[in-house]
């Protein structure tokens, strides 16, 4: 793999396996409103564009449902309390981040997950390695717009030259493209190689160690 100076990572499906906790909070919110629950595979397909769109997809009639805002807020409150119940880094992720840090690389997280949860998960799992983590905020456009990546680079004090974006979804491929950066697509996350290829992905890794340059 080519060597870069800066690595900008997606969070869900890339660094952390968050699917079970997301599905649990999603179904808690739906159940609380007497709505039908969703399967794990359904939730897997719904994630990637932020939790509000996740819940819009999961809720019958989406935004047109008169109880949508109530359901979404129930999800948010439940997930803030339960986001660490089963979520863990994928195998090899901590070793990858430690080695990149040891080699003097700049590391950041850019996520469409709401800001508070992004910060909490980063602090809990990656505080020794990653100091810049950008989640969804009202004052900045979310992925696939390049704004959050630009903000992460600004906080790191670096440019996009010799920077790479690492993610697991079509949203990440588009984010890298819109940011003028190459993209490494990981295959342990929420999307298949065939799906990612259809959205323009060209560089794939099956294990975190493959991201390391030799």
Residue 157 CB-half CA count within 13 A: 2
Three-state secondary structure of 3-65: CCCEEEECCECCCEECHHHHHHHHHHHHHHCCCCCCCHHHHHHHCCCCHHHHHHHHCCCHHHC
pLDDT at position 156 is 98
Mean pLDDT of each 10-residue bin along the chain, 214 residues long: 94 97 98 98 91 95 97 96 97 98 98 92 96 93 97 98 97 98 97 97 97 79
Residues 66 and 150 both lie in one domain: no
pLDDT at 214: 54
Residue 1 lies in a domain: no
Handedness of CA 39, 45, 46, 50 (dihedral sign): positive
Model pLDDT, residue 121:
95
Domain stops at, among 82, 101, 125: 82
pLDDT value at position 2?
87
Residue 63 and residue 94 in one domain: no
Say which CATH number the domain at 41 has. Answer: 1.10.150.240
CA pair distance 43, 26, nearest whole angstrom: 8
* pTM metric for this prediction: 0.93
pLDDT, residue 127, reads 94
Q: Are residues 112 and 184 in the same domain?
A: yes
Same domain, 142 and 207: yes
Whether 163 and 197 share a structural domain: yes
- Based on the fold, state whether residues 164 and 127 are members of the same structural domain: yes
Tokens of 22: 């997301």
CATH of residue 11's domain is 3.40.50.1000
Q: How many domains does the chain contain in total?
A: 2
Q: Please indicate, yes or no, whether residues 205 and 122 belong to a single structural domain of this protein.
A: yes
Q: Which domain holds residue 58?
A: 18-82
pLDDT of res. 66: 97
Judgement on whether residues 114 and 179 belong to the same structural domain of the protein = yes
Residue-level pLDDT at 20: 98
pLDDT at 49: 84
The position carrying tokens 């739906």 is 30
Residues 50 and 23 in one domain: yes
């Amino acid at each position: 793999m080519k060597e870069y100076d800066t690595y900008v990572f997606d969070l869900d499906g890339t660094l952390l396996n968050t699917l079970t906790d997301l599905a649990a909070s999603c179904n808690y919110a739906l159940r609380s409103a007497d709505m039908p629950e969703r399967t794990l595979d359904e939730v897997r397909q719904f994630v990637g564009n932020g939790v509000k769109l996740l819940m819009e997809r999961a809720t019958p009639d989406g935004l047109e449902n008169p109880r949508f805002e109530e359901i979404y807020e129930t999800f948010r409150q439940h997930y803030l309390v339960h986001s660490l119940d089963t979520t863990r880094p994928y195998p090899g992720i901590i070793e990858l981040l430690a080695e990149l840090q040891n080699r003097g690389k700049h590391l950041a997280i850019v996520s469409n997950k709401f800001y508070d949860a992004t910060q909490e998960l980063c602090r809990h799992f990656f505080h020794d390695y990653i100091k810049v983590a950008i989640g969804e905020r009202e004052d900045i456009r979310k992925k696939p717009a390049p704004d959050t990546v630009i903000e992460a680079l600004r906080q790191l004090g670096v440019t996009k030259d010799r920077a790479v974006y690492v993610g697991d979804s079509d949203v990440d491929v588009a984010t890298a493209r819109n940011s003028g950066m190459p993209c490494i697509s990981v295959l342990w996350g929420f999307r298949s190689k065939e799906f990612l290829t259809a959205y323009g992905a060209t560089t794939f890794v099956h294990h975190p160690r493959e991201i390391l340059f030799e």
